[in-house]
Structure 1
Amino acid sequence: MFGTSGIRGAVGTDVTAELALAVGRAVASDGHDRIVVGRDVRESGELLTDALAAGVRECGSDVIDVGVAATPTIARAIEWLEADAGVVVTASHNPATDNGIKLWTPSGKAFGPGRRDAIERRIEESEYDLQSWDGLGSRERRDGAIDHHARTLREAVRIDEPPHVVVDVGNGTGGITASVLHELGCTVRTLNGQPDGSFPGRPSEPNRETLETLMTMVAETDADLGIAHDGDADRMMAVDETGAFVPKDSLLALFAREAASDGERIAAPVDTSLAVDDALATVGADVTRTQVGDVYVAERATEPDVSFGGEPSGAWIWPAETLCPDGPLAACKLVELVADRGPLSELAASIDTYPIRRASVEVTDKAAVMAAVEETVLERYDDVDTLDGVRVGTDGGWFLLRASGTEPLVRVTAEARDEATAESLYDDAREIVTESTE
């Protein structure tokens, strides 16, 4: 039921009011007495939120409804409103056909595997603490969550010479970014600023392929950079002043290098580029690798010497601020960096990029294949990490073999500091998968 990013799927089949009701009941029955609830702009979110709130109240817990807002806004509101947990009804960067449910702790960290499993077990066993008529919880609407988040963003950065920024809201909930940057003195233009859960301006996920309009606008104006969010604004990607999309690993490396100092670490998933390791080496810092998923990055970011966590997907975490991936915070941090250090194109060019190969191999039984892959790799290689899939490190690079979480596929990734080594590692990795399917 729960993936690493909560529940997501097609509305009416995978995600229904019945499911939302069950999640609300389970969260309340699991000992959470005061629960913040909010949603993104998808129209289906209204009925899902109502069903979820009804489930919470049926089991005697109180609902604090903060309305439509960015996921980081809602996650940050949990502590601010002195609640025990938070629920965001969102499918994040998924298409308009989908919706989902994600659970949050007061620290801003998403529910980890243990807490998710407890909720799922209650739903499967219908183990709810349903109350009689005089024990039902209340539902209160609270305004101010967006203002609270905006205030923390303004306090988190200092921009002495505010640049010109184009913000592509993506028809989602990321309008807070444009507002805060304007308040900080930036000249701000917006794209796709009208909230619309059908995402008419572009697909919800911001990437090189979906941001052509933003890239063109930045290139043809005097803008210093462009910012783009997904539907719930937990992700942030960027375009430099020439209109070029900033590679995801380069953006991760820039944030990491800026956040870390000598002896510190940054948390990043197992498929993170060597470019991040090399950028951190210049400031005496290291990478600690995690499973793929922002919840795992956030968990590692709780360790005292970890100053930053990020995923190339666009989820960025500054643990001193919050353990929730906060796209508006990332936008403000990037604008501050450009204002202080100069053009984004030059900053991105200071990060090395390396050849990387990716492919997916269709398999019949991915669990059996991955078991055979692990056995083979452990026999042949010394530097092996089985934290999430099987990752092999070599003198010149690395490769990762990892089962897809949703499809009958094994994903193959290989990277090295030169083309020949990358190709060789990729060929070796593909061969191991092929051998393991025989």
Structure 2
Amino acid sequence: MFGTSGVRGTVGEEITAELALRVGRAVGSDAERVLVGRDVRDSGALLADAVSAGLRECGADVVRLGVVSTPVLARHVGWLDADAAVGVTASHNPAPDNGLKLWTPSGQAFDAAATDAVERRIDDGAYDLQGYRTLGTQTSHEGAADRQVAHLAERFPSFEELSVVVDLGNGTGRPTVDALVALDAEVTTLNAQADGRFPTRKSEPNADSLGGLCRTVAALDADLGVAHDGDADRMMAVTDEGTFVPGDVLLALFARRALAESGGSVAVPVDTSLLVSDVVSDAGGTVTYTRVGDVHVAEQVATAGYVFGGEPSGAWIWPTETLCPDAHFAALELAALVADSGPLSALVTDVPSYETRRENVPTDRKRAVMERVSARLTETDDDVLTLDGIRVDAEDGWFLVRASGTEPLVRVTAEARDAAAAERLHSVAKGVVDEAVELEG
């Protein structure tokens, strides 16, 4: 039921009020005080009511935060001394979708063990239902976003010389704007009207969806642009020249800045560019690879010695702040980097650029294919990671073979410091996959 980002799907199909009620009952059976928040989707009100009903049926006191960003909700679990939070959100998914994601007091999403326990309660119907005298209470908490803004304003210096364009994508990212304004930045907003239909652009902030932000930054001669998804757990950026910053490059810039302040280690998923490893190594740090998904990055950076973790999709985690990907904090951290170190375009140019090859191989037997690929590669290669797909590191690059989590595909990615090496590594990986597909018929 639960994936690396909670449970998500189409409302009325995978995601229903009945499911939300059951999740509420399961969480409430093991908690005394639970926060509930949601993003801007219209279906969120119904689902938040159902979650709250399930929590209260099992004796948990519910604190409703209303429409808030995911980082605001996750931070408030600890700030309000709650045991957990349920976020009703599908993050960057399209408007017909919604979902549920669970958070701990550290700001970290429920890990696999915790979500497995929730699933077992649901499957077994093992809820701690209460009588009418011991039902949980429900209260509302106002001003959660204001507290986040105040926290950010205390953490960063004045940005009075900085001009920033913020694309909110019709979502819950307003605290970024308010914090920048509080710090004296000149701020222009795009798509700032909260609207769960996401009418002005796709919710996911990427190179394809942020053309308007790129043009606006260039037209206004702004210092940088930042963009959020629907629940503001992602942040992507645009340079002062109006150019989209690839996620791997942004990850490298954040990692280098974090390492310069305190040294240590950085956690990234296995599909991260080699350029991040090279930048981190040059900065005196080390990289640890994790499974894909911000929950896995968060688990790693929660251990000693880690100063930063991130995913190229736009999830950034500073463990001394919170174990939730906080796009508000990330936006201000990027603004501080530009204020301290100069134009973002120059910083991006300073990061190396490598050659990448990607291809999807269709197969209805992706599990069996992956088993054959794993057996073949672990026999012939020494430097192999099998924690999420199969990643093979070579002297001049790497390749990753990984089954899609949602489609009948096996994804092949290869990267190297030059085009010839990238082609060679891709050819090797693709050949192993094609052979496995043929053998599986």
| Range into which the TM-score falls when normalised by the shorter chain | over 0.9
Counterpart of 1:369 in structure 2 is: 369
* Structure 1 letter corresponding to 2:255: A
Counterpart of 1:104 in structure 2 is: 103
| C-alpha spacing 1:286/1:161, structure 2 compared with 1 (3 Å) | farther
Describe how 1:135-174 pairs up with structure 2 within 5 A. 135-159=134-158, 161-174=160-173
Counterpart of 1:394 in structure 2 is: 394
Q: Which runs of 4+ in 1 moved over 3 A?
A: 159-162
Describe how 1:71-150 pairs up with structure 2 within 5 A. 71-150=70-149
Counterpart of 1:303 in structure 2 is: 303
Which secondary structure does the structure 2 equivalent of 1:196 belong to?
A: coil
Counterpart of 1:199 in structure 2 is: 198
Q: Shift of the alpha carbon at 1:214?
A: 0.6
Gaps of 5+ in 2: none
2:39 and 2:85 map into 1 onto residues whose CA distance is: 14
2:314 and 2:431 map into 1 onto residues whose CA distance is: 31
- Larger mean Cα displacement after TM superposition, 119-128 or 259-268: 259-268
Q: Is the 8 A contact 2:263 2:307 kept in 1?
A: no
Counterpart of 1:337 in structure 2 is: 337
Q: Is the 8 A contact 1:8 1:100 kept in 2?
A: yes
Task: State the Cα deviation string for residues 95-124 of structure 1 (Å, max 9, x = none).
Answer: 001000000000000000000111011111
Q: Shift of the alpha carbon at 1:160?
A: 5.4
Gaps of 5+ in 1: none
Which secondary structure does the structure 1 equivalent of 2:310 belong to?
A: strand
2:169 and 2:231 map into 1 onto residues whose CA distance is: 9
Q: Is the 8 A contact 2:317 2:326 kept in 1?
A: yes
Q: Is the 8 A contact 1:315 1:327 kept in 2?
A: yes
- Larger mean Cα displacement after TM superposition, 147-156 or 171-180: 147-156
TM-score when normalising by structure 1: 0.98
- Larger mean Cα displacement after TM superposition, 213-222 or 44-53: 213-222
Counterpart of 1:18 in structure 2 is: 18
| C-alpha spacing 1:19/1:356, structure 2 compared with 1 (3 Å) | same
Describe how 1:219-238 pairs up with structure 2 within 5 A. 219-238=218-237
Describe how 1:396-411 pairs up with structure 2 within 5 A. 396-411=396-411
* Structure 2 letter corresponding to 1:91: A
| C-alpha spacing 1:160/1:331, structure 2 compared with 1 (3 Å) | closer
Q: Shift of the alpha carbon at 1:208?
A: 0.6
Q: Is the 8 A contact 2:159 2:180 kept in 1?
A: no
Which secondary structure does the structure 1 equivalent of 2:46 belong to?
A: helix
- Larger mean Cα displacement after TM superposition, 138-147 or 153-162: 153-162
Q: Is the 8 A contact 1:161 1:339 kept in 2?
A: no
Describe how 1:372-387 pairs up with structure 2 within 5 A. 372-387=372-387
- Structure 1 vs Structure 2: percent identity of aligned residues? 57
Describe how 1:240-279 pairs up with structure 2 within 5 A. 240-261=239-260, 264-279=264-279
* Structure 1 letter corresponding to 2:48: T
RMSD over aligned CA atoms reads: 0.9
* Structure 2 letter corresponding to 1:115: A
Task: State the Cα deviation string for residues 242-296 of structure 1 (Å, max 9, x = none).
Answer: 1000111100000000001475110000011111111112221111110000000
- Larger mean Cα displacement after TM superposition, 258-267 or 207-216: 258-267
Task: State the Cα deviation string for residues 20-79 of structure 1 (Å, max 9, x = none).
Answer: 0000000011x1110011000000000000000000000111100011010000000111
- Larger mean Cα displacement after TM superposition, 374-383 or 45-54: 374-383
Which secondary structure does the structure 2 equivalent of 1:361 belong to?
A: strand
Q: Is the 8 A contact 2:159 2:183 kept in 1?
A: no
Q: Is the 8 A contact 2:160 2:186 kept in 1?
A: no
Q: Is the 8 A contact 1:159 1:339 kept in 2?
A: no
Q: Is the 8 A contact 1:166 1:188 kept in 2?
A: yes
1:353 and 1:156 map into 2 onto residues whose CA distance is: 32
| C-alpha spacing 1:422/1:159, structure 2 compared with 1 (3 Å) | farther
Which secondary structure does the structure 2 equivalent of 1:65 belong to?
A: strand
TM-score when normalising by structure 2: 0.98
* Structure 2 letter corresponding to 1:355: E
